[in-house]
Amino acid sequence: DAGVIQSPRHEVTEMGQEVTLRCKPISGHDYLFWYRQTMMRGLELLIYFNNNVPIDDSGMPEDRFSAKMPNASFSTLKIQPSEPRDSAVYFCASSLAGVNQPQHFGDGTRLSIL
Residues of this chain that interact with another protein (CB under 8 A) are 4, 42-43, 45, 55-56, 58, 91, 93, 98-108, 110
Least Cβ distance, residue 33 to another protein (angstroms) = 8
CB nearer another protein, residue 83 or residue 107: 107
CB nearer another protein, residue 27 or residue 38: 38
Q: Quick one: which of 47, 79, 48 has its CA closest to 64?
A: 79
CB nearer another protein, residue 64 or residue 104: 104
Taking the CA atoms of 51, 71, 90 and 20 in sequence, report the sign of the dihedral they define: negative
* Dihedral angle computed from the Cα positions of residues 2, 76, 107 and 99, in that order, rounded to the nearest 10 degrees: -80
Least Cβ distance, residue 59 to another protein (angstroms) = 8
Least Cβ distance, residue 31 to another protein (angstroms) = 11
Distance set, CA 4 to CA 18, 63, 113 (Å): 23, 26, 24
